[in-house]
Amino acid sequence: MGVYTRYKRDQDGFRKLVELLESTPMSKRERMIDVGMEEDPEFTQKALGYCIAFEDIIALPDMELAEITSACPPRMTGLAIAELGADVKARFLKNTMPKFVQEIKDAMEEKVHMREVGGAKLKLITTARDLERKGHIKLKQIPRIGG
For the purposes of burial, counting CB atoms within 10 Å of the CB of 62, is it exposed (0-12), middle (13-18) or buried (19 or more)? exposed
The string of pLDDT tens digits covering residues 113-145 is 888 999 999 999 999 999 998 999 988 878 777
Same domain for 62 and 127? yes
Residues 6+ apart with CB under 8 A from 36: 3, 4, 43, 44, 47
pTM of this structure: 0.87
Position 146 in a domain: no
Position 142 in a domain: no
- Mutual angle of helices 86-94 and 98-109, in 10-degree steps: 150
Same domain for 59 and 106? yes
- Binning pLDDT at 50, 70 and 90, where does residue 146 land? low
Same domain for 43 and 70? no
Give the chain's domain count: 2
Q: Residue 103: its pLDDT value, please? A: 96
- Specify which of 13-22, 28-37, 59-68 reaches the highest per-range mean pLDDT: 59-68
Same domain for 84 and 37? no
Same domain for 63 and 126? yes
Same domain for 64 and 109? yes
Average pLDDT over residues 41-64: 94
Distance CA 112, CA 114 (A): 6
Average pLDDT over residues 57-75: 96
Answer yes or no: is pLDDT of 55 > 80: yes
Residues 6+ apart with CB under 8 A from 48: 21, 33
Distance CA 44, CA 32 (A): 9
- The residue range of the domain holding 10 is 5-50
Same domain for 79 and 117? yes
